[in-house]
Every structure is written in structure tokens, then in C-alpha cells.
């Protein structure tokens, strides 16, 4: 188990990520339904940030997390378009957003 040794409900996320990087399966205890949902979300995000593609399987009182094979070490996006934006695209999107804000502000000031 990847739980902390003192029995608290907190997970030693670094140990889980280390196991995944080593290509091993990690088990995360989940005493309640809320823990299943919350911990699935947390491990998915943490693995994504670390560039690890994972598969999460729900067991009896545990989540089994294993590295996904054949994914080339990248995380499969969870939502359409997630993780596919380049820094240049991100800057362009931010520039357009700022231009729209300035436009709306100008319209408001003309209306007063």
C-alpha cells in the first residue's frame, strides 16, 4: 500500500508516483465512495503533471493504479483538447482574451 505508515487517510503521493515511474502497480486505500472519486482525480492529475500515462482500476476498498503500456510515456488527455495546446497557442489565446476584455471595457465606457 502507498498509504502513510501512521495510518492516516492521507496518501504518500510521492511513493505512488515513484512506483508508477518504476513501472509497478500502486494501490491506494479508499475507505469511502468520496475517497474513490477524490483520489482518482488526484492521482490522474499528478501523473499527468509527471508525464506518466496511467490506468486506474477500482477494487474492493482500493484503487489500483498502473502505468499504461504503449503510450510512449505521455498521458492521454482526459477531456477533448486537454494537453494539446502549445505555448504559442496559449499566448495567442491569452492575447485574444485581453483584446476582447479591452473591447468590452471600451464599449462600457462609451455607454456611460
**98 and 71 share one domain:** no
Looking at the structure of the chain, the number of domains it has is 2
Same domain, 72 and 91: no
* Torsion-angle region of 74 (φ positive above 0: left; ψ -120 to 50: alpha; else: beta): beta
Give the domain range for residue 85. Answer: 79-112
Question: Residue 92 and residue 84: Cα distance in Å, rounded?
Answer: 14
**Is residue 58 domain-shared with residue 4, that is, in the same domain?**
yes
DSSP structure class, residue 32: S
Round to whole Å and give the CA distance between 112 and 110: 6
pLDDT tens per residue, range 33-74? 899 999 999 999 999 998 899 999 998 889 999 998 754 444
**Higher per-residue confidence, 5 vs 34:** 34
The grid cell for 58 is 477500482
Amino acid at each position: 500500500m502507498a498509504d502513510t505508515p501512521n495510518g492516516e487517510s492521507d496518501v504518500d503521493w510521492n511513493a505512488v508516483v515513484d512506483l508508477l515511474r518504476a513501472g509497478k502497480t500502486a494501490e491506494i486505500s479508499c475507505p469511502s465512495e468520496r475517497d474513490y472519486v477524490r483520489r482518482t482525480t488526484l492521482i490522474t492529475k499528478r501523473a499527468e503533471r509527471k508525464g506518466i500515462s496511467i490506468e486506474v482500476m477500482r477494487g474492493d476498498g482500493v484503487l489500483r493504479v498502473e502505468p499504461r503500456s504503449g503510450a510512449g510515456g505521455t498521458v492521454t488527455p482526459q477531456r477533448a483538447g486537454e494537453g494539446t495546446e502549445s505555448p504559442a497557442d496559449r499566448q495567442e489565446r491569452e492575447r485574444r482574451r485581453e483584446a476582447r476584455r479591452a473591447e468590452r471595457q471600451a464599449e462600457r465606457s462609451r455607454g456611460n
